[in-house]
Amino acid sequence: MAVVSGVLREGTQVAIRARDFTWLGDEPTGAGGTDTGPTPYEILLGSLAACITITLRLYADHKGIPLEEVRVEVEYDRVHADDCVDCDERADGWIERIQSHVTLRGTFDEPQRKRLAQVARRCPVHKTLANGVHMVDSVDFEGG
Beta carbons within 10 angstroms of residue 46's beta carbon:
13
SS3 87: coil
Coil, helix or strand at residue 99: strand
* pLDDT per residue rounded down to tens, the chain (144 residues): 899 999 999 999 999 999 999 999 999 999 999 999 999 999 999 999 999 999 999 999 999 999 999 999 999 998 776 665 556 555 557 788 999 999 999 999 999 999 999 999 999 999 999 999 999 999 999 997
Q: Give the gyration radius of the chain's Cα atoms.
A: 19
Asked if 74 and 88 touch (Cβ cutoff 8 Å), the reply is no
- What number does CATH give the domain 39-131? 3.30.300.20
